[in-house]
Amino acid sequence: RKEVEQDPGPFNVPEGATVAFNCTYSNSASQSFFWYRQDCRKEPKLLMSVYSSGNEDGRFTAQLNRASQYISLLIRDSKLSDSATYLCVVEDSGYSTLTFGKGTMLLVSP
């Protein structure tokens, strides 16, 4: 069974803090990885893809460690608007589908 495991949190951080989320996945053949963001009572939306070399998008940095089957997301200078649930997502190798982790909740306070 394909698994994507995340710490559910919540992570409570003050504005301006740096916070990191991690997830592990079981399917070693997976080739594509993503972070999705889901606001309360809303639909998931793509935050960023995760590449082997690591990638950055503004305050967000994603890293992939294939050997350890581990993905991370770093958020610098947290904003109130970053409060959401962050879903770690792994492509099901050989299929056109995604397996979602249950998500990590982030609460950024003033």
Residue among 19 and 47 whose Cβ is closer to other proteins = 47
What is the bridge-based pairing of β-strands 11-14 and 4-6? unpaired
Report if residue 101 touches other proteins, rule: CB under 8 A: yes
In the bound complex, what is the minimum distance in angstroms from residue 101's beta carbon to other proteins? 7
Report if residue 60 touches other proteins, rule: CB under 8 A: no
Report if residue 100 touches other proteins, rule: CB under 8 A: yes
Stretch that binds other proteins, among 12-20, 36-44, 52-60, 69-77 (CB under 8 A): 36-44
Residue 72, token pair as written in the block: 């991370």
Using alpha carbons, select from 7, 85, 4 the residue that is nearest to residue 42: 85
Task: For residue 5, give the H/E element and its range.
Answer: strand 4-6
Which of residues 45, 59, 66, 79 is near other proteins by CB under 8 A?
45
